[in-house]
Amino acid sequence: MIIHLHTWMRSKWHLFLGVALGLLIASTGIPANAADTPRTASENGGVQAASWFVTVPYGAVKTAFAIGGGIVGGITWAVTGGNTETAKAVWIPSMTGDYVVQPQHLTGEKTLHFVGGSSDESTPQRSARNQTTRGLSP
């Protein structure tokens, strides 16, 4: 039983790491009134050190996600007979976004985007088409 438990735990360490990283990123938000107060030099250094510490696992996971998206997008392109728009629907969200955690992400001044978006989603035609596709009224 102990051997099976050890094997199971070893096979699930990626899941544990992902959950731990997600909780760390989600719990770094601070109250709005704390964001208005100036930080000392040591606090700035601490936040910067924390951002570098968090960037190492986050960047590795984001890079693996982007590589996986590139592969799946390539397969999508091949299966759809070279339809680039369909492949871009996989490539753009998986390959764009933030690869580095900046101090502003940890202090709540900027939002950290793991999955990026299309630059043309802001156009009214695309927005209306996406809402219609999702069953929402434009």
DSSP-derived secondary structure letter, 136: -
27 domain-assigned: no
Query: How crowded is residue 129: how many other Cβ atoms within 10 Å of its Cβ?
Result: 13
Identify the pLDDT of residue 46.
Answer: 85
Identify the pLDDT of residue 19.
Answer: 60
User: Based on the number of CB atoms within 10 Å of its own CB, is 85 exposed (0-12), middle (13-18) or buried (19 or more)?
Assistant: exposed
The position carrying tokens 């929402």 is 136
47 domain-assigned: no
User: What pTM does this model have?
Assistant: 0.57
14 domain-assigned: no
138 domain-assigned: no
Question: Which residue segment(s) compose the domain that 93 sits in?
Answer: 54-133
21 domain-assigned: no
Identify the pLDDT of residue 132.
Answer: 45
138 residues of the chain, pLDDT tens digit each: 555 656 655 666 666 666 665 655 555 554 444 555 566 766 778 888 999 999 999 999 999 999 999 999 999 999 999 999 999 999 999 999 999 999 999 988 999 999 987 544 444 444 444 444 445 544
10 domain-assigned: no
Identify the pLDDT of residue 43.
Answer: 73
Overall domain count for the chain? 1
